[in-house]
Structure 1
Amino acid sequence: MRLEGRTALVTGATSNIGRAIAEAFAAQGAHVIVSGRSAGRGNEVVEGIRARGGRADFVQADLDGSAAASQALAEEATRVLGGRIDILVNNAGIYPADSTTTTDEKTFDQVYAVNVKAPFFLTAAVAPAMVEAGGGSIINLGSWIARLGIPVGALYSSTKGAMETLTRAWAAEFGPQGVRVNAISPGVVLAAAAPGEEHPAEVMMKGTPANRMGGPEEIANAAVYLASDESAFVHGIVLDVDGGRTTVAVVAA
């Protein structure tokens, strides 16, 4: 039980990567706040965790980028967890695949609000209490397309580049006070398609050492490592869990 006795807040925890992280943390002994916009999906995740003997509660939140929304989530999660948050996972995000020329100003502002402003102000709300408590771990979610350009999703990739930069800045700011800040950069990660079916996104993982999409649980395993004492000497990194997408070129024989 690598996270026994710890408390954790995971944003965007009602599906895919966020859900897998919440489930993995609970399986390792943490009391987890599952946060998201959908109460139905959130309570489903919580019920599943509890059915397996874990501890979890749902806190509904619409992280629209306002400081007030982030502060409210931090306060409610702290209350439900009994007074402290040991681990924060900034996972919630939105991904419009629009091209640059088809992106309107409203969409631009919304994506930066959800993907950058919300975790910025949530971290600002949570980190001081972690410092006061003697330590903590903050894990941000980046993306492989923050460093490897593709012709769609420029807006989204720029927000993930911002989160990776914030990871290093926050490691410098909060690390000396006992709070470790790191990031995970996933490759293409989706739940497995039905047998005999291929997801359209799979083509983006062709020509990698893994030669497949990743599963949410593979990102969750990395999050458990970064949240646990095993990574006590790890600060300010972006951990690529992407099947080799950004670092390796496989040349066909």
Structure 2
Amino acid sequence: MMSELSGTSVLVTGGTSGIGRATALALAGLGATVVVSGRDVERGKRVVQEIEAAGGAGHFVAADLRGEASARALARQASALVGQIDVLVNNAGAFPFGPTADVAEADFDAVYGLNVKAPYFLVAELAPAMAERGRGAIVNVTTMVAEYGADGMSLYGSSKAALVLLTKAWAAEFGPRGVRVNAVSPGPTATEGTAGMPEALDALAAQAPAHRPGTAQEVAEAIVYLATDRSSFVHGAVLPVDGGRIAV
């Protein structure tokens, strides 16, 4: 029996933990061959082992995404491993919090390098080939604080707001040639990366109707929807997965 994503190859950046790991496992479970990228080689190998233990196919490519050169190199390595990339999930990101006055230029450049430049040049490298084939999907992971002003979120929120606009611009650019580009906008989510800030996570969650943090698996389900033909008529959308924070 054919699985939903049999014959499909996926690249998930930041796929060694949290939302990225949950997404990689979910897409592999639907039959996709998944290339997981991240900085931590041991964690990357463990995710691939999990995929294979469940009967799926996975690969790991170590990548420290900082901008154009690293993004294009990852895209080429991933494509060489599996032949072509049909689905790109731009999940890797940094989420610094703090006052604007405390941000050094090097920190600013590092955050924008990972959150904006890396996805930009991954799309520049991979989307044209998708468009030539007339088929593909790109899912960007943004954040609810890209949608409204929040104290301490100037650097993180603005970088992800750029990704929201890019999602819409890329949908306009590549959609007519069969490449769907969309985004998910998570709210407070319990992951390894947020484990050290439980009070801040709970405080953010208390502002939303769900009154709890989300899970990585819940966000991954939204990414799966946008990555598959379940969302075949969805282009340029930003899907909130934030416990209802967008509503209040």
Taking structure 1 as the reference length, the TM-score comes to: 0.93
Does residue 78 of structure 2 align to residue 77 of structure 1? Answer: yes
Tell me the SS of whatever aligns to 2:55.
coil
- Alignment check: 8 A CA contact 2:92 2:115 kept: yes
User: Residue 33 of structure 1 aligns to which amino acid in structure 2?
Assistant: V
Task: String of CA shifts for 1:32-88, please: whole Å, max 9, x gaps.
Answer: 0010111111001110111111110001111111x221111111101111x111100
Task: String of CA shifts for 1:83-136, please: whole Å, max 9, x gaps.
Answer: 111100011111121210111111111111111001101100000111122210
Matches within 5 A, 1:10-29: 10-29=12-31
Task: String of CA shifts for 1:115-174, please: whole Å, max 9, x gaps.
Answer: 100110110000011112221000001100011222112100000100000000000000
Unaligned runs of 5+ in 1: 193-197, 249-253
- Alignment check: 8 A CA contact 2:164 2:183 kept: yes
Which residue is 2:195 aligned to?
A: none
Aligned-partner Cα distance in 1 for 2:57–2:119: 24
Unaligned runs of 5+ in 2: 193-197
Aligned-partner Cα distance in 2 for 1:157–1:175: 26
More helix by share: 2
Aligned-partner Cα distance in 1 for 2:123–2:244: 29
Aligned-partner Cα distance in 2 for 1:53–1:247: 40
Does residue 201 of structure 2 align to residue 201 of structure 1? Answer: yes
Which residue is 2:4 aligned to?
A: 2
Which residue is 1:228 aligned to?
A: 228
Which residue is 2:48 aligned to?
A: 46
User: Residue 143 of structure 2 aligns to which amino acid in structure 1?
Assistant: S
Aligned-partner Cα distance in 1 for 2:200–2:175: 40
Matches within 5 A, 1:206-225: 206-225=206-225
Which residue is 1:91 aligned to?
A: 91
User: Residue 72 of structure 2 aligns to which amino acid in structure 1?
Assistant: Q
How many angstroms does 1:191 deviate by?
A: 3.5
Aligned-partner Cα distance in 1 for 2:102–2:230: 45
Which residue is 1:141 aligned to?
A: 141
User: Residue 73 of structure 2 aligns to which amino acid in structure 1?
Assistant: A
* RMSD, aligned α-carbons: 1.4
How many angstroms does 1:245 deviate by?
A: 0.7
Aligned-partner Cα distance in 2 for 1:15–1:164: 23
Aligned-partner Cα distance in 2 for 1:62–1:208: 34
Which residue is 1:195 aligned to?
A: none
User: Residue 93 of structure 1 aligns to which amino acid in structure 2?
Assistant: G
Structure 1 stretches (4+) deviating beyond 6 angstroms? Answer: none
User: Residue 69 of structure 1 aligns to which amino acid in structure 2?
Assistant: S
- Alignment check: 8 A CA contact 1:135 1:178 kept: yes
Aligned-partner Cα distance in 2 for 1:126–1:199: 39
How many angstroms does 1:199 deviate by?
A: 4.6
* Alignment: residue pair count: 242
- Alignment check: 8 A CA contact 1:148 1:246 kept: no
Tell me the SS of whatever aligns to 1:246.
helix
Aligned-partner Cα distance in 2 for 1:104–1:210: 36
Tell me the SS of whatever aligns to 2:236.
coil
User: Residue 47 of structure 2 aligns to which amino acid in structure 1?
Assistant: V
Aligned-partner Cα distance in 1 for 2:211–2:163: 27
